[in-house]
Chain A
Amino acid sequence: MSITTTPRVIEVHRPSQVRRWVGDLPLLPLIILVPFILAAVFADFIAPYDPTEPVRGAKIFEPPFWMEGGSTATLLGTDFQGRDSLSRLIFGARVSLIVGLMGTVVAGGLGTAFGILSGYLGGWVDQAIMRLTDAWLALPALVFAIFLAAVVGPSMWNIVIILGLVYWTRYARVIRGEVLSLREREYVQLAEIAGASSLRVILRHILPNVLNTAMVLASLTIGVVIIAEASLSFLGVGVPPPEPAWGLMLSEARSTLMAGKWWLTVFPGACILLVVLATQLLGDWLRIRLDPQQRNL
């Protein structure tokens, strides 16, 4: 039997990139997320009523339409002021998603920047940033966010910044590890030898590679930020009224719990649950897709 074999010509099929991606799309999370995203973007057009004004002609505490006393004019019932629940939920999506997204962007941006600096520059910069990260991680994020919100005063942008400030540490650690290993790669070392400045090396070589990890991390932790925002709203230090926020709706609903007005509690919370669940699933899918070796994030 001969040892040598002539190499077989292997045919390579190149399906279009789009088709390859579409075939793999995670249906469940997208099915959940798309309606919420649409609601957030097109709230003004989709919501049947003004979320801050009582519905004319409707009673307060109207139950959802399938129950006795409900009507199809107010599909999911009304709250203690007679405002339409469905409209408030739709507008609430806007707050939750925007704050969640922006907060994650700020946290991710800060964390990635710190991580890159820490990993690439090394030395005392690394030590200092790592100590800072450790210390920050040791403190209760939400409590701090509450404290900051109370001191600074509520407004949407304040909340976004606060959330970013409080959650950046998760990124810093992971990105730093990534950068440490990237630094040893040959193309980075080549660029350094060729005399490229640190900034250039970072921007051209390190950042693009790190973005994958950052994105996966972002999708996995956006849920935490959304829940944090809802918690802040629930406690009254989130985005101020009259903008409806799901957390705020829950806090308002609390006093009606004993009276059995369950729909005011169940629906906003279910929305939070669904959005967070969807982002988690999406994050898992992204993680496996973009980097199967990073299974331990």
Chain B
Amino acid sequence: METIIREGSAKTPYVSLDGEKGLIEIKGRSIPENSVEFYKPLIDWLERYSSNPLENTNVNIQLEYFNTSSSKCILDMLKKLELLFKKGNKIQVNWYYEEDDEDMFEAGEDYQSIITIPFTMIEMEE
């Protein structure tokens, strides 16, 4: 299973999709005008990973900013992972947010209310 690494830019996050470790990381800011274009290869990777996943998959999401079009794409990724979870695979999503960042906390709550996979909110000190 190949690993995809995308370095972060002014509008797109650092992304690491590591099929050998079962580790997915998204960090930084995700505010592209066309989020669908950015996230489609990542969702396609998840589709391929789902056909032969590791027993444990960990997901770390640590976003500073993200726009509403990215929020949909991130949900699409989480829904792919939810399917894996429902098949009996172990999935853990860690949602990091900065202390006092109520908007990012609420965004995590939005996903928690929609997705039925282990989802932990982790506050980081400034």
Q: Are A and B bound to each other?
A: no
